[in-house]
Structure 1
Amino acid sequence: MAATPDTVHWRGVHHLALVTADMDATVRFWHGVLDARLVATLALPAFRHYFFDIGEGSTIAFFEYTDQSIDSFAKPAGVPYAKAAQFDHLSMHLPDEDALLRLRDRLKEHGCEVTDVIDHGFLRSIYFSDPNGIAMEASWWTLDPTGRPADHSDGRLFADPDPVPAVRELRDEGRLRHTVATRLVDGVIEDLRREGITLER
């Protein structure tokens, strides 16, 4: 049942925006290991922004900032950490421009600050915040790259003019030459050991 008579027609998460200090390794892991296909890239002088298909119009997107040092860390899930900086913003998925405009107007009617519609080429978005200060976005795909074969040479979707080596491999060879390995966070292993569970590394 809708929360209000004039409901917002959410379609799930458009993209969850995270932060990486190594976009090439991120492509090799998300596309090559997790099989979450790289479906779009953006690049500005200040950052790269790459999108990975996780189904039904939803993506995980990573920022890699230019000439900006990022403190990396690893922590077990669900454990608070003051420097948890990988999260950037959450974008919710809407079906079309009309839904985006209606949500913008609804936010204004409720006294919430919201941007005008921003055209990113293959997606259009508005930006606002939740009461916790979480950066929020609502978006719709003007050219939906999910749920179909990716053409890594399509400049409409792969707009980074100087992509990381992994993207050049996908574009030129149709595959990644190698992927990356990861390790469990020590805190997770310690928690499992307390429960009598051991893992082979």
Structure 2
Amino acid sequence: MAETPDQVHWRGVHHLALVTADMDATVRFWHGVLGARLVATLAVPSFKHYFFDVAPGNTVAFFEYADQPLDSFAKPAGVPYARAAQFDHLSLHLPDEEALHRMRDRLKAHGCEVTDVIDHGFLRSIYFSDPNGIALEASWWTLDPTGRAADHADERLFADPDPVPAVRELREEGRLRHTVATRLVDGVIEDLRREGITLER
């Protein structure tokens, strides 16, 4: 597919912002166990915000709020849970099978529970949790679909026998017939108004 002037050039995830009730334990796990280097910290009276390096330019970041009790929970990856309506799990990318086994051994050496390697066809994974109960996965692509044109008819990668209409449009027409609009949540708009900023709707 030819590049177009409006093509977006993503560089990965700048940061995924999660929440912790114990930043010290979070640093000890993410930096110490997972080897995701702590690369930056922010702090204001109401929160701490720490960033962990997972790839060049890509970080996982945590907020620890001051004087804010949290109703925490833990859930396994891929299992629906009403209290986790928008987030299921985070998968971190590894280069190959050997690296996946090394990460599994590293987790075990630190006393962390971890699954055996699960073969999902185009990717292989292990599953574990962080001290906050966040479901984590480490994966590597056995058939990497990124960084190249997508073949929506390739059943090795597009295996849903009854895909949603958008996938059928991509497969049959090479484009989406329409997109969807979104709105800011009211809290964001109220915060902006307090700063004297109004948005056109």
TM-score by length of 2: 0.60
1:109 offset after TM fit, Å?
1.4
The answer for the alignment partner of 1:37 in structure 2 is none
TM-score by length of 1: 0.60
Over aligned residues, Cα RMSD in angstroms? 2.8
**Structure 2 matches for 1:17-166, cutoff 5 A?**
83=83, 85-166=85-166
Structure 2: unaligned runs, 5 residues or longer: 1-30, 37-53, 61-77
Q: Could you say if the C-alpha distance between residues 142 and 13 of structure 1 is closer, same or farther in structure 2, counting changes exceeding 3 Å? A: farther
Higher relative contact order (CA 8 A, sep 6+): 1
Contact 1:11 1:92 (C-alpha < 8 Å) held by counterparts: no
Deviation >3 Å, runs of 4+ = 10-14
Contact 1:108 1:114 (C-alpha < 8 Å) held by counterparts: yes
The answer for the alignment partner of 1:45 in structure 2 is none
Structure 1: unaligned runs, 5 residues or longer: 17-62, 72-82
Letter in 1 for 2:140: W
What are the Cα deviations for residues 70-125 of structure 1, in whole angstroms up to 9, with x where unaligned?
A: 87xxxxxxxxxxx5631111111100000000111111111111100000111100
**Larger Cα-atom Rg:** 2
The answer for the alignment partner of 2:5 in structure 1 is none
1:184 offset after TM fit, Å?
1.1
Aligned length: 134
Q: Could you say if the C-alpha distance between residues 12 and 128 of structure 1 is closer, same or farther in structure 2, counting changes exceeding 3 Å? A: farther
Letter in 1 for 2:86: Q
d(CA) in 1 for partners of 2:144, 2:150? 11
Q: Describe the SS at the equivalent of 1:88.
A: coil
Q: Could you say if the C-alpha distance between residues 166 and 13 of structure 1 is closer, same or farther in structure 2, counting changes exceeding 3 Å? A: farther
Q: Could you say if the C-alpha distance between residues 167 and 13 of structure 1 is closer, same or farther in structure 2, counting changes exceeding 3 Å? A: farther
Q: Describe the SS at the equivalent of 2:89.
A: strand
Q: Does residue 195 of structure 1 match 2:171?
A: no
Identity %: 81
